[in-house]
């Protein structure tokens, strides 16, 4: 049976409808392929800040591994540069130089002595939009790490368990300070598996002893909004000193039952605090 051909006007209308439908489907596919907010932008359309994580003494940048992985999965660019651990002023100068190579907004994070470093490194840098302290030293001007340990009536036995080894040019009154490996698990990483803590003790990076007494410069936290994670089971920095530093800087503060290495034993809590600072 021969079907009659449709009128030419009907064919033209049909073609137009098919063309419109094709464009609609193609547009839908493109929209579905693009996330609501790209990895480099927040939901508001502003670029996501770069997260720079600074480790402290007796550790290295690998302590941030789990935090970096989680941040990357959330679409953040994260860096964990090697802190030289050669002295507060020189360490801050090194991190300041690193920050000068990062474009756009920065959230600067410090752990332990790394907190003292970011306190100095961020001063005067308009790209640093937030400071995050993870069981870290938020020093005031003229204050040293050793002095900060007694804030709020705190006490640490860290100095009683340091092993100091000379390095070329260190002299008799200085040297590289390590935590005694026998005491390292208790002082530094009490909530990590014992074997993991012992490996960290064997591989620890020393900090120059004189950095414990070096006075801090103008603190960045006086002008830059700050967040602070207090580790209530910290055996290196007294928790009462951490609370005192957090209150002094008017930081947004959370407290968790963690050892000194909260970024390793409680990475989800640390990332949550960093993202809060990044999304403010």
33 within a domain of the structure (yes/no): no
Cβ atoms of residues 116 and 140 within 8 Å:
no
What is the C-alpha to C-alpha distance for residues 43 and 25, in angstroms, rounded to an integer? 26
What digits encode the pLDDT tens for the residues 84-137? 999 999 999 999 999 999 999 999 999 999 999 999 999 999 999 999 999 999
Question: Does residue 226 fall inside a structural domain?
Answer: yes
Task: Return the CATH number at 65.
Answer: 3.40.50.1820
Q: Is 142 domain-assigned?
A: yes
207 located within any domain: no
Domain for residue 111, yes or no? yes
Structural domain contains residue 170: no
In a domain, 20, yes or no: no
* In a domain? residue 188: no
**pTM for this entry:** 0.84
pLDDT tens digits for range 198-236: 999 999 999 999 999 999 999 999 999 999 999 999 999
Per-residue pLDDT reduced to its tens digit, 14-31:
345 434 444 343 333 333
- Domain residues for the domain of 256 are 50-155+212-278
Sheet containing 226-231: give its strands across: 78-79, 50-54, 106-112, 128-136, 226-231, 252-256
- CA 204, 101, 51, 142 dihedral sign is positive
pLDDT confidence band for 5 (50 / 70 / 90): very low
3-state secondary structure of 241: helix
42 CB-contact burial (10 Å; exposed 0-12 / middle 13-18 / buried 19+): middle
Number of domains the chain contains: 1
């Amino acid at each position: 049976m021969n079907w009659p051909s449709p009128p030419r006007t009907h064919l033209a209308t049909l073609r137009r409808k098919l063309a419109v439908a094709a464009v609609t489907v193609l547009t839908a596919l493109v929209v579905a392929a693009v996330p609501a907010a790209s990895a480099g932008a927040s939901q508001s359309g502003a670029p996501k800040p770069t997260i720079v994580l600074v480790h402290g003494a007796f550790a290295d940048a690998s302590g941030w591994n789990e935090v970096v992985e989680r941040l990357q999965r959330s679409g953040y660019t994260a860096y964990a540069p090697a802190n030289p651990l050669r002295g507060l002023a020189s360490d801050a100068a090194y991190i300041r130089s690193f920050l000068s190579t990062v474009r756009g907004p920065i959230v600067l994070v410090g752990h332990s002595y790394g907190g003292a470093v970011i306190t100095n490194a961020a001063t005067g840098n308009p790209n640093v939009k937030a400071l995050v302290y993870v069981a870290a030293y938020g020093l005031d001007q003229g204050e040293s790490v050793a002095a900060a340990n007694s804030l709020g009536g705190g006490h640490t036995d860290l100095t009683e368990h340091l092993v100091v080894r000379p390095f070329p040019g260190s002299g008799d009154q200085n040297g590289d300070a390590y935590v005694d490996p026998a005491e390292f698990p208790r002082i530094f990483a009490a909530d990590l598996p014992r074997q993991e803590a012992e490996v960290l003790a064997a591989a620890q990076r020393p900090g120059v002893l004189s950095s414990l007494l070096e006075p801090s410069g103008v603190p960045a936290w006086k002008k830059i909004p700050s967040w602070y994670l207090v580790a209530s089971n910290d055996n290196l920095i007294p928790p009462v000193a951490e609370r005192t530093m957090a209150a002094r800087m008017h930081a947004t503060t959370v407290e968790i039952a963690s050892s000194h290495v909260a970024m390793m034993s409680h990475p989800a809590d640390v990332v949550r605090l960093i993202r809060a600072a990044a999304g403010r």
